[in-house]
């Protein structure tokens, strides 16, 4: 089957795949230096205070969204797991008697 | 009533009534024909917008068919999903399952086209009472309990809604279901809101959703995930658009679903938590209430029904084929179920809003509306939730079912093959639409209620593509770096249903322990304090009876007998003697009396 063969090929050449992935990420970061939002940048700190200026910083440096994604992912995982292990996660038959 | 106007729900109801009578050979064509007719009818209606189906009932003016931009976009996607869902479960032999699903869809479609609150409430309840069967038909003891909880929660929500509707009628003397005065919310508006947000699964009224959707049948969840919450989103957009409290609720919801999705071990419960997260975007958008936000809510509901249906179909296929939906019991299925993997991945990329997939053109409208309204925290937090969405639905679900280090049990692996053709076809149709909408958003935008604003919105700008790809791909980097941390654990997570599940048990405990104890105490009290003295009293009474009364009676009897004997000896039979004796005594007594009277 074509799909299985494709996955097999990708798995065999894992190193190449990873190399391509890193290259794509690097290219994206480079690209982000050249793109600008459609709407004109707002004067910072007009309404919404700190978050507004933060948003204009993000618009000025789109590469920061990469940091946002990565840190967001870490925060979500760590906070959720800490929350879960604080007594929220229980054995599967908890509700059965 | 106007000229004859065929309500789309009638097609489904007629189909449901006729289904058991259809001969087996024609069953499958019939099963497909009914939802296709429904879709055709809805598409026809979209072309002729206006008010239809007016009925005068008692003194009330009811309207069954309000066809406008807002109801049409929801109607079309519900019709389409009815076709896909029925195709997915086409091989299910049990008529009752199809009937329940159709009545449920009919309720949803009816609620969307309802022009007044009474009609809305009627269809609202039809939805609750028909959809519970989609849970019960799984026929596990757990499904039975989950179904009852689902029903009780929805009945409570329905009562809140009804209370709000009646109070609203009292205030406005109108049943019309139009935009309410959300700037000055009254108790009526808050009650209506509670009814709506319960169906939208807004925390803290959300726990019914993962509880029920994780327990429903493999195809029941496909229907459930599409209709209840989206009907509620429609109702919020229609009646409560711009209600400020919905914005924080929606954002909290978007993040809440993400947190629980990290913890979840059951793939379908994970997807259920992501419904909460995704509906959060729509609720927040309804709260923002601008043209852009309402467009975003409708577009996102449209896209969401397709990709979430696709995801539930993918995980439902795994459940149907292997009997397992838990990540800890699955893994490495890519060789066995490659097509299911591909379709689920398409659903995952769509929900994550990858460019060229449907989520990209809908979710971004809501985020943009947040930033446009200068609600920066809304925009930022919703973007954080998008990262979480990709993390779980785009990466965790496909990775831990089809790859991962976990080895499922041999019997699970042996059963794992791609599902029957109809399930594959349904997934293919949904996958096609996910990509189609992503690539050609103009067609979806034309359906939206604020068409001009929608068509002016351009999702595919270099900045937006670059921004989205950066967030998503670096989230993926985080996922693979922290893969270990994410390994599913064979545990369940407590949610707010704990309160009524354990609350019910606490009630049972109260019934079994304190109330039982009081009952026992009263019994004991009766035995000790009631029965024993009674016995003593009885014994005393019997003693009294034996000794005193019997003694007295006996004594009296013997006294009478003795007296009789003496009297007998005094009687000698002479009448005159007796009379003389009697008179003598009487004379003595009389003389004593006269003497006493004279003395005084």
Separation in Å, CA of B335 to nearest CA in chain A: 6
B484 touches chain A (CB under 8 A): no
- Per CB-CB distance under 8 Å, the chain B contacts of A29 are 470
Distance CA B352, CA B385 (A): 10
More reliable by pLDDT, B502 or B573:
B502
Cβ-defined contact of A76 to B486 (cutoff 8 Å): no
The answer to whether residue B158 scores a pLDDT higher than 90 is: yes
Q: Is B467 on the interface with A (CB under 8 A)?
A: yes
The DSSP result for B526-539, as a single string, is IIIIIIHHHHHHHH
Q: Residues B221-245: what's their mean pLDDT? A: 94
Range in B313-327, B435-449, B461-475, B530-544 the model is least confident about: B530-544
Top-ranked range on mean pLDDT: pick from B57-71, B280-294, B562-576:
B280-294
CB B115 within 8 A of CB B82: no
Mean pLDDT across B335-355: 94
Q: Which of B193-197, B442-446, B583-587 has the lowest mean pLDDT?
A: B583-587
pTM of the predicted structure, to 2 decimals = 0.84
Measure Cα distances from A92 to B145, B265, B266, B492, B499 in Å: 16, 10, 11, 5, 17
Distance from C-alpha of B194 to C-alpha of B198, rounded to nearest angstrom: 6
Chain A residues within 8 A of B491 when measuring between CB atoms: 84, 89-92
C-alpha Rg value of chain A to the nearest Å: 22
Using pLDDT thresholds of 50, 70 and 90, give the confidence band for residue A47.
Answer: low
Segment holding B463, helix H or strand E: helix B462-481
Summarize pLDDT for B503-550 with one digit per residue, the tens: 777 888 888 888 888 888 888 888 788 777 788 888 888 888 887 778
What is the ipTM metric for this complex?
0.89
Tell me, what's the pLDDT at B202?
93
> Which of B277, B384, B474 to mutate to probe the A interface, most A CBs <10 Å?
B474
DSSP, collapsed to helix, strand or coil, labels residue B65 as strand
Structure confidence at residue B1 (pLDDT): 43
| Tally: H helices and E strands in chain A | 4, 1
A-chain CB neighbours of B263 within 8 Å are 80-81, 83-84, 88-89
- B112's tokens: 């969307």
Q: Torsion angle of alpha carbons A12, A16, A20, A23, nearest 10°?
A: 150
Residue with tokens 């999702």: B459
pLDDT tens-digit series, residues B362-417 = 999 999 998 888 888 898 999 999 999 999 899 999 999 999 888 888 888 888 88
pLDDT at B595: 66
Tell me the sheet residues that pair with B176.
B116
CA atoms within 13 A on the CB side of B353: 32
pLDDT at B508: 80
Does residue B67 contact residue B49 with C-beta atoms inside 8 Å?
A: yes
Q: Say how many CB pairs under 8 Å bridge A and B.
A: 151
SS3 category, B176: strand
Nearest to B467, CA basis, from A50, A67, A51, A42 = A67
Q: Is B342 on the interface with A (CB under 8 A)?
A: yes
Q: Which of B49-58, B148-157, B518-527, B573-582 has the lowest mean pLDDT?
A: B573-582
Q: What is the pLDDT of residues B279-298, one digit of tens each?
A: 999 999 999 999 999 999 99
Shortest CA distance to B11 belongs to which of B106, B85, B97, B104?
B106
Q: Could B466 and A32 be called an inter-chain contact, meaning their C-beta atoms sit closer than 8 Å?
A: yes
Which residues contact residue A80 at a Cβ distance below 8 angstroms, ignoring those fewer than 6 apart?
B258, B259, B260, B262, B263
CB contact under 8 A, A29 and B334: no
With CA atoms as reference, report the closest residue to B11 among B39, B53, B47: B39
User: Chain A: nearest CA to B510, how far in angstroms?
Assistant: 16
Residues whose CB falls within 8 Å of the CB of residue B444, separated by 6 or more in sequence, listed in order: B299, B302, B303, B361, B362, B437
């Amino acid at each position: 089957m074509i799909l299985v063969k494709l996955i097999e090929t990708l798995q065999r050449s894992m190193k190449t795949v990873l190399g391509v992935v890193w290259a794509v990420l690097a290219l994206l970061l480079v690209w982000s230096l050249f793109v600008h939002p459609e709407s004109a940048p707002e004067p910072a700190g007009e309404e919404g205070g700190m978050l507004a200026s933060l948003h204009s910083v993000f618009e000025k440096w789109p590469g920061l969204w990469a940091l946002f994604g990565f840190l967001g992912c870490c925060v979500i995982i760590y906070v959720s797991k800490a929350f879960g292990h604080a007594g929220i996660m229980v054995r599967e038959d908890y509700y059965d008697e | 009533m106007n000229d004859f106007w065929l309500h789309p729900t009638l097609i489904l109801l007629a189909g449901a009534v006729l289904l058991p009578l259809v001969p087996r050979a024609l069953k499958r064509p019939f099963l497909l024909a009914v939802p296709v007719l429904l879709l055709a009818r809805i598409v026809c209606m979209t072309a002729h917008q206006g008010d239809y189906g007016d009925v005068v009932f008692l003194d009330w003016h009811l309207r069954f068919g309000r066809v406008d931009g807002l109801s049409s976009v929801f109607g079309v996607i519900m019709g389409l999903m009815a076709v896909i869902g029925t195709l997915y479960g086409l091989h299910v032999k049990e008529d009752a399952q199809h009937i329940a699903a159709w009545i449920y869809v009919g309720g949803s479609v009816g609620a969307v086209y309802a022009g007044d609150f009474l009609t809305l409430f009627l269809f609202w309840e039809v939805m609750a009472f028909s959809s519970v069967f989609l849970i019960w038909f799984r026929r596990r003891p757990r499904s039975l309990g989950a179904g009852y909880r689902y029903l009780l929660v929805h009945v409570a929500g329905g009562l809140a809604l009804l209370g709000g509707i009646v109070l609203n009628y009292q205030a406005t003397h109108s049943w019309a279901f139009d935009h309410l005065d959300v700037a000055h919310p009254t108790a009526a508006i808050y009650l209506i809101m509670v009814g709506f947000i319960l169906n939208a699964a807004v925390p803290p009224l959300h726990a019914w959703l993962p509880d029920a959707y994780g327990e429903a049948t493999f195809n029941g969840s496909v229907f459930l995930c599409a209709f209840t919450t989206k009907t509620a989103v429609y109702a919020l957009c229609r009646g409560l658009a711009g209600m400020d409290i919905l914005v924080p609720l929606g954002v909290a919801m978007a993040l809440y679903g993400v947190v629980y999705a990290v913890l979840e071990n059951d793939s379908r419960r994970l997807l259920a938590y992501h419904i909460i997260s995704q509906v959060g975007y729509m609720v927040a958008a309804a709260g923002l209430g601008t043209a852009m936000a309402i467009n975003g809510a409708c577009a996102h509901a449209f896209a969401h029904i397709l990709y979430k249906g696709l995801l539930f179909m993918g995980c439902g296929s795994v459940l149907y084929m292997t009997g397992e939906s838990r990540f800890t019991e699955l893994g490495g299925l890519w060789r066995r179920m490659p097509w299911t993997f591909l379709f689920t991945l398409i659903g995952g990329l769509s929900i994550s809003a990858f460019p060229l997939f449907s989520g990209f053109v809908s979710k971004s409208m809501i985020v943009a509306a947040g930033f446009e309204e200068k609600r920066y925290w809304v925009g930022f937090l919703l973007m954080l939730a998008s990262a979480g969405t990709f993390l779980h639905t785009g990466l965790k679900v496909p990775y831990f079912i089809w790859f991962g280090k976990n080895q499922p049990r041999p019997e699970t692996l042996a059963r794992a093959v791609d599902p029957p053709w109809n399930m594959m076809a349904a997934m293919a149709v949904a996958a096609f639409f996910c990509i189609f909408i992503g690539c050609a958003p103009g067609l979806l935008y034309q359906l939206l209620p604020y068409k001009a604003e929608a068509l002016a919105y351009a999702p595919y700008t270099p900045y937006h593509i670059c921004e989205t790809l950066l967030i998503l791909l670096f989230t993926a980097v985080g996922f693979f770096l922290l893969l270990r941390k994410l390994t599913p654990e064979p545990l369940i997570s407590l949610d707010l249903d704990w309160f009524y599940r354990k609350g019910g048990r606490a009630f049972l405990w109260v019934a079994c322990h304190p109330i039982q104890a009081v009952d026992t105490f009263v019994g004991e009290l009766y035995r000790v304090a009631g029965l024993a003295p009674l016995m003593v009293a009885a014994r005393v009474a019997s003693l009294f009876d034996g000794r005193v009364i019997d003694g007295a009676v006996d004594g009296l009897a013997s006294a009478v007998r003795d007296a009789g004997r003496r009297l007998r000896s005094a009687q000698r039979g002479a009448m005159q003697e007796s009379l003389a004796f009697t008179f003598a005594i009487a004379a003595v007594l009389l003389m004593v009396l006269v003497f006493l009277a004279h003395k005084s």
